Amino acid sequence: MIIDSEDDVTPAVVKAMENAPDARLREIANSFVKHLHAFAKETRLTEREWEYGVGMLNRVGAFTTDTHNEGILLSDCLGLSTLVCLMNNGAGGSTETAAALLGPFWRMNSPKTANGGSIVRSPTPGPALFASLRVLDHNKKPLEGTEVDVWHASTTGMYENQDENQADHNLRGKFHTDADGRFSFRTVLPAGYPIPTTGPAGEIVLYQKRAPWRPAHLHFLIHKPGFKTLVTQVFVDGAKYLDCDVVFGVTTALVGDYKKHESGAPPAPDVKAPWHTLDYTFHVEPGDSGLPTPPIK
Ligand code: BEZ
Ligand code: FE
């Protein structure tokens, strides 16, 4: 097709897709092209601005390694991850626990940890947290043998893969629920932390003059064949940045009741007051038990 004017371009590119065999891929690609071209026309994008945008994409790729996923970070900072998450999962109003974005820091092969065990694998500052969780199905029946990945950042503001001072898989663990659907573990109370700002995603956030911080939270990935995999986070109530999470990830239903204990018998002999506890129940529904592609190794 010969292109004589700007109005010829979009139909030509859409037509170029017509023999692609997968109907859903054709639908997505054509919609993407139409919106991309409409954006360029709406803003009357200049050649220098186009160059800048392409350079940004190139830098997202160049920043991505086995231990850092700038693409996911960019999607998170633009709100796309949360939008896709909420479009595909309940927001806590149904029988299903609200989902939250996966983020760029999930690692697939966290160490299997016995129920009640600790995920503190190297000295980590912060008050002790004892978490007791339960997984129920859509009929409120306990789901025994559910695999649950847990991960969170250190109170120094970094995940273990970002920080050579933490042991491999510090603050990460894989648990299995018991006959009552329960699992529990010991860790330290999570703190808020800044997302990486050295790459293009962080540059956008800083340019917007937004605080690059996430409120304190624990991550959970709940997986059981026959049930829809639940990826979610439980936020610390009262934490700073709950209402301005840099990646738009906070849902009211996911603010947990973390209790502070100043006195009484501590849950382990080495624990000094104050310590904290969290009780939370997850509800999963029958569905696709597929796992996400790990953002990092
Ligand atoms: C996280 O919670 O691990 C996270 C999510 C989005 C961007 C950065 C970190
Ligand atoms: Fe996190």
* Domains located in the chain, CATH noted: 70-283 (2.60.130.10)
pLDDT in tens, 66-115: 999 999 999 999 999 999 999 999 766 678 999 999 999 999 999 999 99
Measured in Å, residue 105 CA sits from the centre of ligand 1 at: 7
Cα 154 to middle of ligand 1, angstroms: 13
Mutational pocket test of ligand 1: of 64, 73, 102, the residue with most ligand atoms within 8 Å of the beta carbon = 73
Q: Looking at residue 9, what is its pLDDT?
A: 98
pLDDT for 217-242, tens place per residue? 999 999 999 999 999 999 999 999 99
Output the pLDDT for position 201: 98
* For residue 211, pLDDT beyond 80: yes
Give residue 92's pLDDT. 62
Question: Which pLDDT score, from 0 to 100, does residue 93 have?
Answer: 64
pLDDT at residue 90, as a whole number:
75
Nearest alpha carbon, ligand 1 atom 8? 195
pLDDT tens digits, one per residue of 24-64: 999 999 999 999 999 999 999 999 999 999 999 999 999 99
Distance from residue 57's CA to the centre of ligand 2 (Å): 24
pLDDT over 70 at 200, yes or no: yes
pLDDT at 154: 97
pTM of the model: 0.96
Give the position, in ligand 1's atom list, of the atom nearest the Cα of 103.
5
If you average pLDDT over every residue of the chain, what do you get?
A: 96
Give the distance (Å) from ligand 2 centre to CA of residue 158. 9
Q: How is the chain classified by DSSP, letter by letter?
A: ----SGGGHHHHHHHHTTT-S-HHHHHHHHHHHHHHHHHHHHHT--HHHHHHHHHHHHHHHHH-BTTB-HHHHHHHHTTHHHHHHHHHS--SSSSSPPP----S---S-PPB--TT-B---S---S-EEEEEEEEE-TTS-B-TT-EEEEE---TTS--GGG-TTS-TTTTEEEEE--TTSEEEEEEE----EEPP-SSHHHHHHHHTT---EE-SEEEEEEE-TTB--EEEEEEETT-TTGGG-TT----GGGEE-EEEE-SS--SSTT--S-EEEEEEEEE--BS----PPPS--
Task: Give the tens place of pLDDT for each residue, 106-156.
Answer: 999 999 999 999 999 999 999 999 999 999 999 999 999 999 999 999 999
pLDDT of residue 1: 86
Interval 265-283 mean pLDDT = 96
Quick one: which atom of ligand 1 is closest to the CA of 247?
Answer: 6
Rounded to the nearest whole angstrom, what is the distance from the C-alpha of residue 140 to the centroid of ligand 2? 28
Where does ligand 1 bind, in terms of residues with CB under 6 Å?
73, 76, 101, 103-105, 195, 214, 247
